[in-house]
């Protein structure tokens, strides 16, 4: 037993952690504590909130923490969980809570370890945690009690509020079809259940709950193998999930990451469109806050191999409703722009990453004495040797791509293969397309492996008769689209200023 002090500058850290998320602190605490319980493979998760005493409690019957995990839980200097290992961050909910709470009491019990802590602010600059014995846990699991400050505004109070938050962030885990899917994946038991203020939350059926019509169920595939499960439909009312949420909810391991309409514009039916799609491998592309996806830079093509099958299913479903997607096509002008972009690779190497130009890169080749640990990933892309190595002559499928086959990917922690890097160059090039969308403010946008230039934009219309002006406009539009694509969600909206400014210029 003892007392320990969080000696680093925790005030700056907890503020910085909270700013990574797009919602307020009390909601972050709720989301992260539930995520940690799910990552612990719990089958029972209990959530309660005492309005009078302003206390949130999340308890689970998961595997509990080990001794080292318990120390990291309190360590502000410890790194966040490695991307792809779960939907939450161990300890982040408790740490972030100190933006608005003054005490966190934690108990945990695993097969080989049990402990607890009373973590509290002794002063504004001093954060201590004292060892305590667990008293609430009869088996393995973790219980976290967050005591919010007296002046803190907490956005939830009733059981209804807490259930709404559960549905907003973890809707698939409240649907029996998806629970059966998670059981078949070996990730969650089909009897996973939540209780809120002592009341069981009974899983139901989203088709019935949202009165969905024109329902389509599908299994998106990559290289002939299923990568997830989805349901699409038209709800009886607008924004059925509450707020301004509509479109397809993209999820990974039961956590809702974002809503998406895949650059489609379904008109008046848009607010009624509702879908739920689970893609487990999306977990490898979550942002630092795990509230959106990283799609750009070197991860673009790999992400697209998971994202595009869902987009195709969505477009086909819209077509069945009589909603045609924008007519997107290439032209001679597009080919000229692609050649122009290739000339810029030396000075703007990000273009090679984004489009997959034929450019020098290091890929992994199996090698018993290789210095790199790797594992095998489905999907390959043909590459050509341009340097020394074990690959031999001629094309060799050694890079990660979308075609049937297997490629090596670096994995220093869990890799069970040894490999050596070899210099290669890929076949793929950029795709530029045009679409006439005069109602869109975007100069251009990213759609799959293409950048689509809006030939209906007022500034394009104004510049189209002058070949030089048109070419400059198109390059500017491409750069703007890629910059928005690579930016964070909030920053991307700020960058729409360029499109609006050019629209105003085009209309003069």
Q: Is residue 476 in a domain?
A: yes
Q: Are residues 344 and 370 in the same domain?
A: no
Domain of residue 235, CATH code: 3.30.230
Residue 395 in this model has a pLDDT that exceeds 70: no
Residue 50 in this model has a pLDDT that exceeds 50: yes
Residue 392 in this model has a pLDDT that exceeds 90: no
Share of the chain above pLDDT 70, in %: 83
Give yes or no for a contact between 443 and 481, defined as CB atoms under 8 angstroms apart. Answer: yes
Q: Are residues 27 and 123 in the same domain?
A: yes
Task: Give the pair of three-digit tokens for residue 477.
Answer: 């539009």
pTM as predicted: 0.75
Domain limit, last residue, from 426, 445, 463: 426
Domain coverage including residue 146: 3-157
Q: Are residues 136 and 210 in the same domain?
A: no
Q: Is residue 26 in a domain?
A: yes
pLDDT recorded at residue 390: 46
pLDDT tens digits, 458-473: 999 989 888 889 888 9
Q: Are residues 396 and 478 in the same domain?
A: no
393 confidence band (pLDDT: 50, 70, 90): very low
Domain limit, last residue, from 426, 461, 478: 426
pLDDT recorded at residue 82: 47
For the chain, the domain total comes to 4
pLDDT tens digits, 236-291: 999 988 877 889 999 999 999 999 988 787 878 889 999 999 999 999 888 888 88
Q: What are phi and psi of 216, to 5 degrees?
A: -130, 125
CB atoms within 10 A of CB 25: 23
Residue 106 in this model has a pLDDT that exceeds 80: yes
| Residue range 414-436: mean pLDDT, rounded | 71
Q: Is residue 178 in a domain?
A: no
**Residue 16 vs residue 44, higher pLDDT:** 44
pLDDT tens digits, 189-248: 889 999 999 999 999 999 999 999 999 999 999 878 899 999 999 999 999 888 778 899
Give the residue among 146, 131, 144, 126 at the shortest CA–CA distance from 10.
126
Residue 169 in this model has a pLDDT that exceeds 90: yes
| Residue range 156-162: mean pLDDT, rounded | 94
6 confidence band (pLDDT: 50, 70, 90): low
Q: Are residues 393 and 492 in the same domain?
A: no
121 confidence band (pLDDT: 50, 70, 90): confident
Task: Give the pair of three-digit tokens for residue 85.
Answer: 């290992």
Q: What is the DSSP string of 239-283?
A: STTSTT--EEEEEETTEEEEEE-TT---GGGGGGEEEEEE-GGGG
Q: The tokens 């923490």 sit on which residue?
A: 65
Q: Are residues 10 and 98 in the same domain?
A: yes
Q: Out of 67-71, 223-227, 309-313, 397-401, pick the least confident.
A: 397-401
Q: Are residues 269 and 347 in the same domain?
A: no
pLDDT recorded at residue 388: 45
Q: Are residues 152 and 16 in the same domain?
A: yes
Non-local (6+) Cβ contacts of 381 within 8 A are: 301, 397, 399, 400, 401, 402, 403, 407, 426, 427, 428
pLDDT recorded at residue 451: 87
**Residue 133 vs residue 327, higher pLDDT:** 133
Share of the chain above pLDDT 90, in %: 39
Q: Is residue 153 in a domain?
A: yes
Q: Is residue 165 in a domain?
A: no
Q: The tokens 């009897």 sit on which residue?
A: 191
pLDDT tens digits, 295-351: 655 577 788 889 989 999 999 999 999 887 666 666 788 888 888 887 887 777 777
Domain of residue 80, CATH code: 3.30.565.10
Q: Is residue 187 in a domain?
A: no
What is the spatial distance between Cα 437 and Cα 444, in angstroms, rounded to a whole number? 10
What is the spatial distance between Cα 393 and Cα 479, in angstroms, rounded to a whole number? 37
pLDDT recorded at residue 328: 67
Q: Is residue 102 in a domain?
A: yes
Q: Are residues 20 and 146 in the same domain?
A: yes
Q: Are residues 221 and 146 in the same domain?
A: no
Q: Are residues 307 and 348 in the same domain?
A: no
pLDDT recorded at residue 360: 57
Strands 431-435 and 396-410: unpaired
**Residue 315 vs residue 394, higher pLDDT:** 315
**Residue 79 vs residue 451, higher pLDDT:** 451
Give yes or no for a contact between 147 and 53, defined as CB atoms under 8 angstroms apart. Answer: yes
The alpha carbons of the chain give a radius of gyration, in whole angstroms, of: 25
Q: Out of 50-59, 101-110, 123-132, 421-430, pick the least confident.
A: 421-430
Task: Give residue 469's region: left, alpha or beta (phi > 0; psi -120 to 50).
Answer: alpha
Non-local (6+) Cβ contacts of 363 within 8 A are: 383, 398, 399, 407, 408, 421, 422, 424
Q: Are residues 347 and 483 in the same domain?
A: yes
Domain limit, last residue, from 395, 426, 457: 426
Q: Is residue 472 in a domain?
A: yes
Chain Cα centroid distance, residue 453: 26
CB atoms within 10 A of CB 201: 18
pLDDT recorded at residue 290: 83
């Amino acid at each position: 037993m003892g007392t320990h002090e969080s000696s680093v500058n925790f005030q700056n850290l907890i503020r910085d952690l909270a700013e990574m998320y797009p919602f307020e602190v009390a909601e972050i605490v709720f989301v992260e504590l539930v995520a940690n319980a799910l990552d612990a493979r719990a089958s029972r998760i209990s959530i309660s909130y005492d309005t009078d005493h302003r206390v949130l409690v999340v308890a689970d019957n998961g595997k509990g923490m080990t001794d080292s995990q318990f120390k990291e839980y309190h360590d502000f200097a410890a790194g966040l969980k490695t991307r792809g290992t779960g939907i939450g961050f161990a300890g982040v909910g408790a740490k972030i809570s100190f933006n608005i709470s003054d005490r966190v009491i934690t108990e945990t019990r695993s097969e080989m370890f049990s402990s607890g802590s009373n973590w509290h602010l002794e002063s504004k600059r001093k954060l201590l945690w004292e060892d305590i014995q667990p008293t609430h846990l009869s088996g393995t699991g973790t219980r976290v009690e967050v005591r919010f400050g007296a002046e803190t505004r907490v956005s939830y109070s009733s059981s209804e509020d807490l259930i709404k938050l559960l549905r907003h962030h973890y809707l698939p885990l409240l649907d029996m079809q998806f629970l059966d899917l998670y059981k078949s994946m070996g990730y969650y038991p089909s009897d996973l259940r939540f209780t809120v203020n002592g009341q069981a939350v009974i899983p139901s059926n989203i088709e019935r709950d949202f009165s969905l019509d024109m329902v389509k169920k599908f299994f998106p595939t990559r290289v002939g193998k299923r990568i997830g499960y989805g349901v699409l439909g038209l709800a009886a009312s607008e924004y059925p999930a509450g707020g301004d949420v509509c479109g397809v909810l993209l999820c990974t391991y039961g956590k809702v990451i974002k809503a998406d309409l895949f650059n489609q514009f379904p008109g008046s039916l848009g607010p009624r469109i509702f879908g739920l799609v689970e893609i487990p491998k999306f977990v490898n592309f979550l942002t630092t806050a795990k509230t959106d996806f990283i799609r750009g830079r070197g991860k673009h093509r790999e992400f697209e191999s998971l994202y595009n099958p869902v987009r195709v299913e969505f477009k086909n479903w819209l077509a069945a409703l009589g909603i045609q997607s924008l007519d997107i096509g290439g032209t001679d002008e597009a080919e000229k722009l692609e050649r122009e972009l290739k000339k810029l690779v030396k000075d703007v190497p990000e273009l090679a990453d984004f489009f997959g130009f034929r450019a020098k890169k290091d890929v992994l080749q199996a090698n018993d004495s290789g210095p790199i640990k790797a594992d095998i990933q489905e999907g390959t892309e043909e590459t050509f040797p341009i340097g020394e190595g074990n690959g031999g002559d001629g094309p060799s499928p050694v890079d990660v791509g979308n075609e049937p086959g297997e490629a090596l990917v670096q994995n220093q922690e869990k890799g069970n293969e040894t490999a050596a890097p070899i210099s290669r160059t890929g076949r793929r090039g950029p795709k530029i397309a045009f679409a006439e969308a005069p109602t869109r403010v975007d100069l251009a946008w990213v759609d799959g492996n293409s950048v689509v230039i809006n030939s209906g934009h007022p500034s394009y219309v104004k510049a189209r008769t002058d070949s030089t002006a048109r070419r400059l406009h198109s390059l500017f539009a491409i750069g703007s689209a890629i910059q928005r694509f690579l930016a964070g969600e909030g920053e991307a909206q700020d960058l729409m200023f360029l499109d609006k400014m050019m629209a105003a210029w085009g209309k003069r």
